[in-house]
Amino acid sequence: MGRMNVRAIAIAATVLALSQGARAQAQDLQLATLLPITGPYASYAVEFRLGFEIARDEINAKGGVAGRQLKLDIIDTQSNNGQVVSLVRKACGEAFAVLGPSMSNEAQVAFPVANGMKCPSISSSAAASGLTDRNRPWTFTYASPAQIITPQAVELLADKLKPKRAVVVIDRGDAAANDQGPLAEKSLKAKGVETETLTVSGSDLDFGPVVTRINGLNPDFVVLSTTDKGAVGVLKELKRTQSKAAILITQSAFTPLVTAAGPENLEGVYRYTEFDPTASDDARVKAFIETFKSRNNGRAPTQLATQTYDLLFLVKYLVEQVKATGAADKLADERDAFTKKLQSLKDWQSISGPMSIVPGGYANKPVTVLVFHGGKPERVSAN
C-alpha cells in the first residue's frame, strides 16, 4: 500500500512537473504591429498586412517560434498620428516586441514613446532620415534609409550613363518624395551634372504642362521622385512626346501601379529599390509571390510586402537565439537580450541577401538598380 502510494505520488508529481513545463513552452509569442488599416493611407497597409499574415501563417504551420505559436495583434492607427501615442503604449504593454509602425510618419511619433518604455520596436519600412538614430537603443528599422540608397543608386547611374543635363521632378507634398528628390539632386550635382528641379503635385490631372517644360530643358536624364500616380503620369507623357531622356523612378514612386503602365512605357526605364521580389530567382521569394498574388487579386508584391514578411522571420530567429520564454517576470531581461542581439546582427540571411544592423539602428543592405526590358526588370551593374 505504501509503495503504491509512493508510486502514485511519484507519477502524479512527474505529470505535474511535465505539464508545468509544457505550459511554459506553450506560451504564445505575442507581437503587435501598428498599421493604417482605415483612413487615407489604408491602401498602403494592404501590402504590409498581407506580408505579415503570410509569414505568420507559414511560421505557425511549421511549429511556431521554438514551439510557441506566434500571435500578431494588428492595430489600426486610423491614419491619425494623434492616435499613435496611446496605441503604441498599449502595444508595448501587451506585446513582447512591436513591429512597426511601418509608415514613416507614424514611426516618427511612435519611436520616442517606445524608446522611453524600453520596448523593442522594429519598423519594416520606415526610411525617414535620422529616425532610428534619434531613438536609440530600442528602436530599429528593417529598411535601408533613403539617405543611404538614393545616393548609391543615383551615383551608379551617373557614372554609367554620364548625363550632361538632368531634371529632378519632385512632389513636395509627399514626404518620401520630398526626402529622396533633394538627395538625388545633390548626388547629381556632386557628379558635375547640370541639374534642374521641377515640382509636381500628386493630385494633378494633367502632366502635359510639366512635361512640356521638361522637354523644353532637353535633359538626357530625368529622375521622378513623386507619388506613383505622378510617376505614371509623367512617364506616359514623356514617352508620348518621344523624349530621349533616360528615366529613373525612385523607390517610393514605384508601386504595382507603375508596372501596370505597360512594357512599352517602361522600356529602358530605371528604378532603384532595396529589393524587387519579381526580379529575384530565389525559390522562397517565388513561392511568396505566388501566395501573395492569390490573396491580392493577382497583384504582385513589392518590397513593402517582403519587408514585413521577412521581418517576422528575423524576429523568429532572434527570439530563438536568445531563448526567450515569454515568462512575465523575465520580460525586461528578454527584451534586453533581444534588442542587443538585433543591434549586433551581422550578415543574417535576409530575403534579399546578407543583412547587418548598423549602430544607427537601421539595416545596411546594398541597393538594387534595375532596368526594364520587355516588361521585365533586369539588374544593372556598375559597368
Partner 1 sequence: MGAGSLEALIIIQLIYLIAALGHYLPLSMNQLDVGIAGYFAIGAYISAFLTRDHEVAFALALIAGSVAAGAGALIVDGLATRVRLTGFAYAIFSLSFAESLRIVLNNVEAVGSSGGLVGIPAHTTLTLVAAIAVAVLIGFWWLDRTRLGHLRTAIADDEFVVPIFGVPLTATKLMIFALGGALGGLAGGLYSHYVLFIRPDDFGFALLISLQLPMVFGGLDRFYGAVAGLLLLGFIPEFVRELAQYRLIVMAAATLLVLILRPSGLITHRTIAWVKSRLRGAQAEPTR
Partner 2 sequence: MSVFLQQVVNGLVIGASYALVAVGFTLIFGVLRVVYLAHGAVLVAGAYLGLFALSWLGSITAALAVGTIGAALLGLVVEFVALRPVRQQNHLIALVTTVSFATIIQETLRLTVQSGQPISYPDNIGARLLQAEIAGIKLHVTVGQLAVMVVALVLVVALTFIIQRTWLGRSIRAVADSPLVASMLGIRVNAISGQTVALASALAGAAGVLLGLTIPAIDPYVGEHLQFKVLAVVLFGGLGSIPGAVLGGVLLGFVEAMAAGYLATSYRDLFAFMTMVVILFFRPSGLFGRRLVERV
Residue 67 as a binder of partner 2 (CB under 8 A): the answer is no
109 binds, among partner 2, partner 1, none (CB under 5 to 8 A by kind): partner 1
Closest separation in Å from C-beta 50 to partner 1: 14
User: Considering only CA atoms, which of 375, 377, 349, 373 is closest in space to residue 284?
Assistant: 349
CB 199, min distance to partner 2, A: 4
For residue 145, how many C-alpha atoms fall within 13 Å in the half-sphere facing its CB? 18
Residue 119's region, left for phi above 0, alpha for psi from -120 to 50, else beta, is beta
Q: Tell me whether residue 116 or residue 208 sits nearer to partner 2 (CB atom).
A: 208
Cβ neighbourhood burial of 358 (10 Å; 0-12, 13-18, 19+): middle
Binders of partner 1 among residues 90 to 109 (CB under 8 A) are: 90, 93-94, 105, 108-109
Q: Rounded to 5 degrees, what angle do the CA atoms 233, 366, 46 make? A: 50
Q: Do the beta carbons of residue 88 and residue 116 sit within 8 Å?
A: no
The residue among 101 and 277 lying less far from partner 1, judged by its C-beta, is 101
Q: Which stretch binds partner 1 (CB under 8 A): 5-13, 81-89, 244-252, 302-310?
A: 81-89
Say if CB 38 and CB 298 are below 8 A apart. no
Cα–Cα distance, 373 to 203 (Å, whole number): 29
Q: What interhelical angle do 331-343 and 303-321 show, nearest 10?
A: 120
- Pick the closer one to partner 1 by CB: 76 or 220: 76
30 forms part of the interface with partner 1 (CB under 8 A): no
Tell me if 111 sits within 8 A of 131, measured CB to CB. Answer: yes
- Residue 335 contacts partner 2 per CB under 8 A: no
Work out what residue 297 binds among partner 2, partner 1, none; the CB cut-off runs from 5 to 8 Å by kind. Answer: partner 2
Pairing of strands 353-357, 348-350: antiparallel
∠ CA 327-113-336, rounded to 5° = 35
Question: Which residues in the 207-246 window bind partner 2 by CB under 8 A?
Answer: 208-210, 212-213, 216, 228-229, 232-233, 236, 240-241
Partner in contact with 261, chosen from partner 2, partner 1, none, beta carbon below 5 to 8 Å by kind: partner 2
Closest CB to partner 2 among residues 174, 334: 174
- Site residues, partner 1 (CB under 8 A): 37-40, 76, 78-87, 89-90, 93-94, 105, 108-109, 112, 117, 128, 130, 134, 172-175, 178-179
- Site residues, partner 2 (CB under 8 A): 40, 42-43, 46, 170-173, 198-201, 203-206, 208-210, 212-213, 216, 228-229, 232-233, 236, 240-241, 255-257, 260-262, 297, 299
